[in-house]
Amino acid sequence: MPVELTALGHRFGTEPWLFRAMDFTFHEGTVYALIGPSGSGKSTLLGILAGWIAPAEGVIAIPHDRTATWVFQNPHGVPGRSAVDHVALPRLARGAAPDDADEEARHLLERFGLGHVAGREFRALSGGEAQRLMLARAIASEPAVLLIDEPTAQLDPTTGDTVNAVIGELARDDTVVVVATHDTRTRDACSAVLDLGRFARRAEG
């Protein structure tokens, strides 16, 4: 089911509006680049989509029984657990048998170019490998909405390119994917763009 924003706006207290009069529909199966200048409210909009922040005005229509998963810009994992363990865990939590969860996890790791590190501990992964692992784990949880905050912000350009190369793998028929980014290469890896700068200008009017 799409996620629909109607006349959405937000500000904190009496501070200036970050964005306002936002009418937009996020469709399933599409990866959206959320762009805009610093301070335009990209992380705030992710928080609203996650259900963590109530908008100051307007309406967001998202099914209450659907889950949202957030991938942060700094990858967090269990240092001594393997890459395959990280991806298998969401499947185990959904009731999969251990062997089936491991098989599905290894398949996902291959999709994200991580098959060769399946047995490697998290602490031994490179920055790009760790970020791709977090994306694979997020997909394994089968969220309705997948939110990704600046996935290449902490990476050098070459390593960032390895993450951007798998952005297209995030699209699923039943998932809305929103990637907040300043990186033009990440933007170009997405299939659609939402520029918050347009709605920031409306807030000034």
CATH number at residue 109: 3.40.50.300
Largest CA distance in the chain: 58
The percentage of residues in the chain with a pLDDT greater than 70, rounded to a whole number, is 95
142 in a structural domain:
yes
Q: Print the domain residue range for 112.
A: 29-42+64-193
Domain assignment present for 115: yes
- Residue 65 has what pLDDT? 62
Higher-pLDDT residue of 67, 97: 97
Tell me whether residue 184 is in a domain.
Answer: yes
Secondary structure string (H, E, C) spanning the chain: CCEEEEEEEECCCCCCCCEEEEEEEECCCCEEEEECCCCCCHHHHHHHHHCCCCCCEEEEECCCCCCEEEECCCCCCCCCCEHHHHHHHHHHHCCCCHHHHHHHHHHHHHHCCCHHHCCCEHHHCCHHHHHHHHHHHHHHCCCCEEEEECCCCCCCHHHHHHHHCCHHHHCECCEEEEEECCCHHHHHHCCEEEEHHHHHHHHHC
Region 86-101 average pLDDT? 94
Q: Could you tell me the pLDDT band of residue 198, with boundaries at 50, 70 and 90?
A: confident
Among the listed residues 58, 74, 46, the one whose alpha carbon sits nearest the alpha carbon of residue 146: 46
Non-local CB neighbours of 51 within 8 Å, separated by 6+ positions: 62, 68
Domain membership flag for residue 86:
yes
**What average pLDDT score do residues 180-185 get?**
94
Q: What does the pLDDT read at residue 190?
A: 95
Question: Is pTM, for the whole model, over 0.85?
Answer: yes
114 within a domain of the structure (yes/no): yes
pLDDT in tens, 121-148: 999 999 999 999 999 999 999 888 999 9
| pLDDT above 60: residue 205 | no
Rounded to the nearest integer, the mean pLDDT of the chain is: 91
Q: Is residue 202 part of a domain?
A: no
**Residue 127 domain-assigned (yes or no):** yes
Number of domains in the chain: 1
Looking at residues 97-117, what average pLDDT do you find? 94
pLDDT digits (tens, 9 = 90+) for 63-93: 666 688 999 888 889 999 999 999 999 999 9
Domain-located, residue 8:
no
